[in-house]
Structure 1
């Protein structure tokens, strides 16, 4: 009875998570379309002016002054990475990535889905000035991908949705490492020291088994300021806070603080942070843009990396593991359905745009960057949907084992 209730509770939790991510993905689509509409209508100048509004926070001689766009990319996205960090920690300790048998297929698929796109981008841009954008097509937008997957309803086995989520989590962990190692500015030693002190305080809170969320949030805001001023990208502060929030220590109500914070953050991120980011970053004017613009190295590298690289990397790595007997296909899934999910991993959108904003600071790259991301993500989304719909309609018994 107890085991049955636990299984039912876990299943309901996964279902709620997938529903929330799917709904958030649909809202992301709407935000992206709205941004494109604004950028290609008489509202274009108002849209641009909105994102350039200066916002300043000052305490005496200390000030943080940025345009609204950078507050969104550096501030709101830190909240998103806080949620990503919470999900990664939970999955590694007690979820889909907690045992070797569970972790091998999605993690290896995630690695393949990062290496292949980066390699394709590198080959196309190896002789150009845009080589710093090699990590742009390595990203997967899980909310967008699950939003597309949700359009198929129960035609797709739940195991594939969990597989896609696990691949995206491994992908997010890789993105965290990439941002930390490759996309940092000139470092400020005093600010890094302040960040180290803040992290030490977070660790102490965890060791002291503090279960109230407020102390972690307060120290996290201080950490964000130090990291922002240090030259390391500020979003990584969210990851550091997430790893400090207790998972094994229960509060007075018997709840793990990590579970509570993750549950509370999900709707804000799914229905607030990511749509706002998409609206602020997806706007690209097509005035004067022709199809030949996609043949330029930067947009072509991004689009080909997302569309070809992600599909080949995720499916290829998965197929090798299954054929070698080191892993099995997700329960109830066919090879054709796995191809469809691998294609959906090429929907980079918000994550690709975010990494692109770190790789290229000059406005001369913005149109090509957004054009490549939108083209690659659209091709991947449509292809993945069609493969999954075709596979569901023409397979009565889709289970195929390697």
Structure 2
């Protein structure tokens, strides 16, 4: 239990710093896009780049390489988080998982319905207000420090994991281009090979990652958004280590004794000591959990590079409110979905399910705090921007929607913070 809490604390701290970096990257992007460097900024991200593999070639703009390739690594990390939580975390049992699952479902369904109600003739953007930016939301909670109930952070993490799973399903099933069925067999064979490695007990990550690149290529060729390849790969990464903790301790003790027994006056290691160290290194590799090792490696890359780069390349929108007037209902659908739909969905679904005795609210969280989390869930930001680029191709609509996302996320964050700080102040008084 202590180990799990330490891991969660490290996860939350990384997400908090990532949220700060995302904010700085976004501010920088908006400033640059509206400065004399605006055209150069636009030209940079629309610069074409290609890769040739024999007779096959993949050519996309720099923005699409970030959105399709680097974001596939982000979704690989998301998939690893989902799998971990489902196997050993807050979603590993029905009793623990049901409450955040229902909260997340409400936080996805109600915003989508609000959007569709306002855009019956153009419902494709319904996925935009469904998303929650976990890095920003947790970053705000961390900045509030001791004002925040620790159980609230745990609830937000579990809710966000389910929310991410919902986003993955929406991207995979709704936001796809023309489907090329001839590549399904290729992708299926590669994915079967990846699972064969898992079944055979292979814990080295390199074979999985090499086959994962091939899976990404064919998923992209099919027409399904290539980030789905990251999630599919994540589900196939083994969670079992090759040897158990006790076996690692016993083997390492023997090798340490072997190392100690062969100490000599010569100031370099002898071959006995080198063999002992190599055995310890081998045991070190075998005892590590492949899933956790990959997730740990990707988390820093994602938090400190991929997501800030994504924000800097995608958040540079011209401050021009004329586009909002031309696409008013789309923007209102997004704004109302995030500001109103998220808190109503998260609070309403859980409250109704509790009254119907379908779930039990955790004793460590109050209904007031669930409302506050509902507003923090309205911080869509990077995930909402990501889905915006999938839902629309018209640059004027995309720019207008981004402005709506910025405004809605800011308002939702302010309300969430006020609710949390007000509760703390009332408690102290």
Q: Shorter chain as normaliser: what TM range?
A: over 0.9
Using the TM superposition, give the Cα deviation of residue 189 of structure 1 relative to its aligned residue in structure 2, in angstroms: 2.0
Q: Does the CA-based 8 Å contact 1:310-1:346 persist in structure 2?
A: yes
SS at match of 2:52: strand
Among 292, 296, 309, which residue is 1:263 paired with?
Answer: 296
Matching residue of 1:175? 167
2:396 is matched with 364
- Please give the alpha-carbon distance, in whole angstroms, between the structure 2 residues aligned to 1:131 and 1:365: 14
Cα distance in 1, alignment partners of residues 93 and 416 from structure 2: 28
SS in 2 for 1:391: helix
- CA distance in 2: counterparts of 1:34 and 1:196, whole angstroms: 42
Mapped to 1, the partners of 2:67 and 2:418 lie a distance apart of: 33
Q: Deviations over 1:239-276 (max 9, x none)?
A: 11100100124364312100111111111001111111
CA distance in structure 2 between the partners assigned to 1:75 and 1:11 by the alignment? 32
Q: Structure 1, residues 298-340: CA drift from partner, whole Å, max 9, x if none?
A: 1111111011001110111122233344444445333222211
In structure 2, relative to structure 1, the CA distance for the partners of 1:247 and 1:285 (3 Å cut) is: same
Write the distance in 1 (CA, Å) between the matches of 2:362 and 2:40. 47
Asked if 1:319 is matched to 2:344, the reply is: no
- d(CA) in 1 for partners of 2:301, 2:11: 13
Once residues 379 and 78 of structure 2 are traced to their aligned partners in structure 1, the CA distance between those partners, rounded to angstroms, is: 17
Q: How many residues align?
A: 388
3-state DSSP of counterpart to 1:346: coil
Partner of 1:75: 69
**TM-score between the two structures when normalised by the length of structure 2:** 0.87
**4+ residue stretches of structure 1 with deviation over 4 A?**
none
- TM-score of the two chains, using structure 1 as the length reference: 0.93
Deviates more, 1:105-114 or 1:362-371: 362-371
C-alpha contact 1:34 1:279 (8 A) present in aligned 2: yes
For the residue of structure 2 that corresponds to 1:395, the secondary structure is helix
For residue 272 of structure 1, what is the aligned residue in structure 2? 305
Is the 2:327–2:400 contact (alpha carbons within 8 Å) kept by the matching residues of 1? no
Matches of 1:294 and 1:103 in 2, distance apart? Answer: 42
Counterpart of 1:125 in structure 2 is: 119
SS of residue paired to 1:41: coil
Secondary structure of 2:59's aligned partner:
strand
8 Å Cα contact 2:323-2:396 kept in structure 1 = no
Any idea what SS the aligned residue of 1:96 has?
coil
Larger Rg: 2
Query: Which structure 1 segments of 5+ residues have no match?
Result: 1-6, 398-402
Q: Which shifted more, 316-325 or 266-275?
A: 316-325
Secondary structure in structure 2 of the residue aligned to 1:97: coil
1:371 to partner: Cα distance: 1.4
Computed over aligned residues only, the root mean square deviation of the Cα atoms, in angstroms, reads 1.7
